[in-house]
Structure 1
Amino acid sequence: MTAQTTGRAPSLPPLTDGPHRRRLGVVALIATFGGLLFGYDTGVINGALRPMAAELGLNAFTEGVATSSLIFAAALGAMAGGRLSDGWGRRTSIILLAVLFFAGTVLVVAAPGLGVLVAGRVLLGLAVGGASTVVPVFLAELAPYEIRGSLAGRNELMIVVGQLAAFVINAIIGNTLGHLDGVWRIMFAICAIPAIVLFFGMLRMPESPRWLVDRGRETEALAVLRSVRSEARADAELAELTANARAEQQRHASGWRAIVRNRNLRKILLIGMGVGIAQQLTGINSIMYFGQTVLVESGFDESAALIANIAPGVIAVVGAIIALAMMDRFDRRKTFITGFTLTTVSHLLIGVSSMLLPVGNPIRPYVILVLVVVFVGSMQTFLNVAVWVYLSEIFPLHMRGLGMGVSVFMLWISNGFLSLYFLSLVEAVGITGTFFLFAAVGVIALLFVWRWVPETRGRTLEALEEDVTTGVIYAQR
């Protein structure tokens, strides 16, 4: 249900165009370089894994270790990043993450063996996890409620742009310099560039006004709001933020203490965790990390698979652009239900095609490629952007960093186990069994969303906070 249908539409002056809107766009662009790094660092392994494994002597399990070390570290980074951003601020946390991105890149590029490689991947994972928590919260807290979905969703667009960039760069480097030893190091070295841009760019960006108000720094918050809103709108929003902060102080509880005392907060935390896990159990990142391997298993040779692997990256970007256009127009619940329905059907079709078209059939690789592209497009259009926006907006301010951190921690843990065991699963049951298993999990995720996930679109973060805390949001569909 939207704010308009519940009678909870906020009474704020309308949005206006002007230099403040352009300033908001610049802030969002710089912050989403964290998403670009997230995408590149998770996507680059897709094409770098095979030459890396050949040089370092990795087997299927140690390939999984090299890949999943980043993912499990990202789970810890998400948890730590949420808490850190609550204490130090969103902007300061993002600057620290840029340093981690750069340091992790240097270690991976210089790695003489698996140990140093994993250490570098762990640093990158901490940065990726922190960025996945802090950047969406930073954008959601800066955005006007009317465009919160499309503004916060830009981070997911930059994630898939980063993944596409990794696929394209991998294909170019792999097909032109593939004869060189250590070609995979060049693929990884590229991500030092956006890390530098993020670091110096965020030095000039403002702090989240909501975080400033929560720390009693109303004058600074007003200055930030006036830089990204009209003066009248900034004054009205500050008044709403201040009133909400005072109401929170009167409750005398925040973070874990508030969650333990209020069953409605426990419930929203469980819902956030469930949404994050459901997104990952579609298997989307198994395709984004091991797409080349899946295509080789389908019948492509390695060089052709490296090029064909660009197609899912392209459709992911197209889907993200469509999702941003829809985000402020369609309810989150309807978007989730549509997405899980389409991805589950895609999994079934991939499994059936793999079963009916035996290895060696000339059309098998192309049919599976088309269905993988359909799956990635469905996922990106209806689930990925919506999930990250949803997690950034459902938690009250006093537990937003914590709630986002815990939810994204569970998301990354699910991602990590899939990354660790996906290749072994494909070896054991083939593409057919793997995607039938994904389809079964998709049905469970669909039922979870239909029964438990509340609507959030069309309300300010302050209105959502009240509804979540009182439990009103759970009665709305």
Structure 2
Amino acid sequence: MSILSMVEDRPTPKEVYNWRIYLLAAVASCTSCMIGYDSAFIGTTLSLTSFKDEFHWSSMSSATQSLVSANIVSCYQAGAFFGAFFAYPIGHFWGRRWGLMASALIFILGAGLMLGANGQRGLGLIYAGRVLAGLGVGAGSNITPIYISELSPPAIRGRLVGVYELGWQIGGLVGFWINYGVDQTMAPSHKQWLIPFAVQLIPSGLLIFGIFLIRESPRWLFLRGRREEAIKNLTWIRQIPEDHIYMIEEIGAIDQTLEHQRSTIGLGFWKPFKAVWTNKKILYRLFLGSMLFFWQNGSGINAINYYSPTVFKSIGLTGTSASLLTTGIFGVVKTVVTILWILYLIDRLGRRNLLLFGALGGSICMWILGAYIKVADPTNNPTDHLSGGGVAAIFFFYLWTAFYTPSWNGTPWVINSEMFDPNVRSLAQACAAGSNWLWNFLISRFTPQMFDAMDYGVYFFFASLMLLSIPFVFFLIPETKGIPLENMDPLFETKPIWRAHAKVLAQLHEDEEHFRRDLEESGFKKSGVEQVEDMAKV
């Protein structure tokens, strides 16, 4: 089987897998380029001599330096936490498309403020800009996975939501290397550290341009009662006519789900809030989604993203250039493995298996890294070159990256974008994104202090959390690959969890046969739209 072949939930015309659907995912994923770049460049920019000199780093104590670094980094996550919830009313009333536009505009305002900072004005503009940029990316982290999952055919939904993760890694790759480039090619100056801040404007500008090339989510349009526009957009995305049996089935499933939601939760702005607190099934899935991001951040990834120079210094690397180069290679490894994850792993091995294997392999690597630092103590025994043990430690760090990236890095976003009903999906994604930024904030805020107080114990801490995530996933998270969004309720209700996927797929195939038989017996005497409306009534 080829790397691009599909694992389909039902017979699907080849026209469905067309360039338009990838364009929509790519444009929306400019938000994750913004996130990835911002999370990667800031830690290495703070390590540049030109930045330290301009803001009088040498006059601060070690504890003050750690505190200022943590504040600059973490105010971005604080803004993102609130941005994730701020996006809910925008996404509900104005749609996914204009929600993405709002995300880009707020981010541009924040990035512009940061460019006004200098030694005389102090760090205030950087703090304010980081908060606004965080609001923008927080909103984007809510809306983008929802938008992509709502327009995706089930067979490639994981891959398309994975494009969001790829955008994150591409942004991060540029962010990791930009500071190595300016460090190697420019003398220390105000301009040297300002360039990495200015590059933030590129992905947000691309998103604004791309908004005019994409269509609104058909499922959101159905939810808002704009049926004709929804069908028009869906036929444009799928590139097949509305009376095609595939379209009849898809529109019928959407109608059936919305009717179920109308009779249970209700279709309104406040109804999902009531459902969250009164419907135990939804509350339970919100808990699962939040915990996935707890385990994700508990792996240590954001400690590495934001404070990579500190991490590599703890392993034994000395010198700004060496640290920046090693960080850049870290970005390359993440990006390459993410491409493999999108093209092959996420829709082949599935979400559940990736989380299990990634946690086990990543935990082993972290235990080895912590043990090396405990024995070698490179911080108190500095050398002008890496020892054999140091080289091995770097190898296991990159091996940890290879385990973590195709598992916990993007898979929680995929699962959270899939497992909620249409009418609560926007609010649920806001809660999921908010929980990600909350755990992200806590890790980034206290990482410098953790390294000061715990040293090698930081690696044992992250290794333990990765190990504890294994029973959580095995007993509580079902496999969601290939399951239509409208069939997530039966998936999560089927027990035991580790067999739910196979049971639900078997039931789907049985229902598919009955549906097609009924359509064939009817002889397709009505138009496509009339047939869809009849099926919705049933």
Which AA in structure 2 matches 1:55?
E
The answer for the alignment partner of 2:12 in structure 1 is: 14
Of 254-263 and 317-326, the range deviating more from structure 2: 254-263
The answer for the alignment partner of 2:160 in structure 1 is: 151
The answer for the alignment partner of 1:109 in structure 2 is: 115
Local SS of the residue matching 1:153: helix
Aligned equivalents of 2:330 and 2:404: distance in 1?
11
Is the 1:292–1:306 contact (alpha carbons within 8 Å) kept by the matching residues of 2?
yes
Provide, for residues 302-340 of structure 1, a one-character-per-residue CA deviation record: whole Å limited to 9, x for no partner. 111111111110110111112111111123211111111
Following superposition, the deviation at residue 402 of structure 1 comes to 1.0
Of 394-403 and 53-62, the range deviating more from structure 2: 53-62
Following superposition, the deviation at residue 150 of structure 1 comes to 0.5
TM-score by length of 2: 0.83
* Structure 2 unpaired stretches of 5+: 1-7, 58-64, 500-538
Within 5 Å, give how 1:208-219 maps onto structure 2.
208-219=217-228
Is the 1:13–1:236 contact (alpha carbons within 8 Å) kept by the matching residues of 2?
no
Is the 1:340–1:446 contact (alpha carbons within 8 Å) kept by the matching residues of 2?
yes
The answer for the alignment partner of 2:76 in structure 1 is: 70
Match of 1:186 among 195, 206, 211: 195
Provide, for residues 269-299 of structure 1, a one-character-per-residue CA deviation record: whole Å limited to 9, x for no partner. 1111111111111110111111122112322
Runs of 4+ in 1 over 4 A off after TM superposition: 465-468, 473-476
The answer for the alignment partner of 1:277 in structure 2 is: 294
Q: Which has the higher contact order (CA 8 A, sep 6+)?
A: 1
Local SS of the residue matching 1:395: coil
Aligned equivalents of 1:14 and 1:448: distance in 2?
34
Of 338-347 and 438-447, the range deviating more from structure 2: 438-447
The answer for the alignment partner of 2:349 in structure 1 is: 330
Match of 2:363 among 339, 344, 348: 344
Which AA in structure 2 matches 1:220?
E
Which AA in structure 2 matches 1:234?
M
Following superposition, the deviation at residue 69 of structure 1 comes to 0.6
Is the 2:475–2:498 contact (alpha carbons within 8 Å) kept by the matching residues of 1?
no
Provide, for residues 191-231 of structure 1, a one-character-per-residue CA deviation record: whole Å limited to 9, x for no partner. 21221110121122111111111111111111111112122
Aligned equivalents of 2:390 and 2:76: distance in 1?
30
Is the 1:353–1:367 contact (alpha carbons within 8 Å) kept by the matching residues of 2?
no
Match of 2:264 among 251, 271, 277: 251
Aligned-residue sequence identity (percent) comes to 27
Within 5 Å, give how 1:160-179 maps onto structure 2.
160-179=169-188
The answer for the alignment partner of 2:509 in structure 1 is: none
Aligned equivalents of 1:75 and 1:475: distance in 2?
31
The answer for the alignment partner of 1:445 in structure 2 is: 469
2:24 maps to 1:27 = yes
2:494 maps to 1:472 = yes
Aligned equivalents of 2:487 and 2:253: distance in 1?
10
Following superposition, the deviation at residue 357 of structure 1 comes to 2.2
Provide, for residues 17-46 of structure 1, a one-character-per-residue CA deviation record: whole Å limited to 9, x for no partner. 37x711111111111111111111111112
Provide, for residues 396-437 of structure 1, a one-character-per-residue CA deviation record: whole Å limited to 9, x for no partner. 11111111111221111111111111111111121x111011
Which AA in structure 2 matches 1:41?
D
Change (3 A) 1:236 1:13: farther
Aligned equivalents of 1:152 and 1:473: distance in 2?
27
The answer for the alignment partner of 2:326 in structure 1 is: 308
TM-score by length of 1: 0.93
Aligned equivalents of 1:77 and 1:473: distance in 2?
36
Structure 1 vs Structure 2 CA RMSD: 1.8
2:308 maps to 1:291 = yes
The answer for the alignment partner of 2:482 in structure 1 is: 458
Match of 1:408 among 433, 436, 439: 433
Is the 2:47–2:320 contact (alpha carbons within 8 Å) kept by the matching residues of 1?
no
Local SS of the residue matching 2:15: coil
Aligned equivalents of 2:495 and 2:280: distance in 1?
13
Following superposition, the deviation at residue 467 of structure 1 comes to 4.3
The answer for the alignment partner of 2:62 in structure 1 is: none
Change (3 A) 1:473 1:172: farther
Local SS of the residue matching 1:17: helix
Aligned equivalents of 1:148 and 1:465: distance in 2?
18
